[in-house]
Amino acid sequence: MIWSLLYSGLELLKIVHSGNEIHWFGFVYRFIVGKSATPFYYIVVLMQLTMMTPWLVKTVKQKGVISRILWLVTPLYLMYLYAWNYIVGISPRLYETLFPAWFVFYYLGIHVRCGWKLKCNGYAAAGALALSCVEAVGLRAVGFDIGFYTSQITVGSFLYSVTIIGCLLKKNENNRSGCHLLSKIGDCSYGIFYIHMAVLMIVGRIIECENWYAYWALRFVLTSFISYIVVHLAQMTLKNHKKLLRYIGFV
C-alpha cells in the first residue's frame, strides 16, 4: 500500500506539472487493482494465493484426486486466454491480475516445499526458450495482440520459467555454496520489486544510446544493479530496525 501510494503520488505530481486534467476515478481504480506501477498487480495476485495457501498445503499433503486436478487450473486459464485473444483480438481486462494465471508456479512451489524434486538442465531451458520464441512468432502471424504474445503469460514463457527454476533448484542442491550470490539477491528481491520501476525510469532518462539493443541491455543491467545496491544498503543501514524494513517491504 505504501509503495502504491508513492507511485500514485508521483504520477499525480507529473500530471499536475504537465497541466493535464486529473481523473481521480482512474487513480482509485489503479490503486485497487494493483496498477499504480506496472508490476504491482502481482501484489493483488499474491493476496489471492496467500488466502488459499492453508487449503492448498493440506490438499498437496493428502495426495488425492483434487491435488492432481489442480494442475489443470493454469492450463485451462491459458486456453481461455488464447481463445479470447484469437476471437476478440485483444487480451481480456486484468487477465494477469487473476490468480489462475500464476497458480502453477505457486502450486509447484508448495510441492517442492513438501519434498518434490524438480530438476532441469541447460538443454531443457534452451529448448523451452526456442519454443517460446517460435510461439511468439506464430501468435503474431495469426494476429494475436502484441501485448499478449510478448507477455509472460504464454505456454512457451511458462515452460521456460519452469525449466529455469528447475536448473536453479538443481544447482542449489548440488552446490549450495555456489548459490550464495543468488541467495543474497533473493533476500533483496521483494525490495527490488518495489523500487525497480522508479530506478528504471531514472536510468532511462540518463542513458543516451542510439543502438536499441545496447540501450535496453544497459538499462536492464544498470536497473538491476542499482536496485540491488539500494535495497542491500538499506538493509545494512536499518538492520537494527527490522520493523521498519518489514513495513517498507525490504525484508
* pLDDT tens-digit readout, 130-140: 999 999 999 98
Residues in the chain: 251
* pLDDT tens-digit readout, 153-172: 899 999 999 998 888 877 77
* Cα gap 159→165, rounded to integer Å: 10
* pLDDT tens-digit readout, 209-222: 777 788 888 888 99
* pLDDT tens-digit readout, 24-55: 676 676 667 666 667 778 888 888 999 999 99
Using alpha carbons only, give the angle 102, 227, 2 rounded to the nearest 5 degrees: 65
Host H or E run for residue 12: helix 2-18
Q: Which residue has the cell 481521480?
A: 24
Whether the Cβ atoms of residue 117 and residue 98 lie closer than 8 Å to each other: no
Terminal-residue alpha carbon distance, the chain: 16
pLDDT for res 96: 84
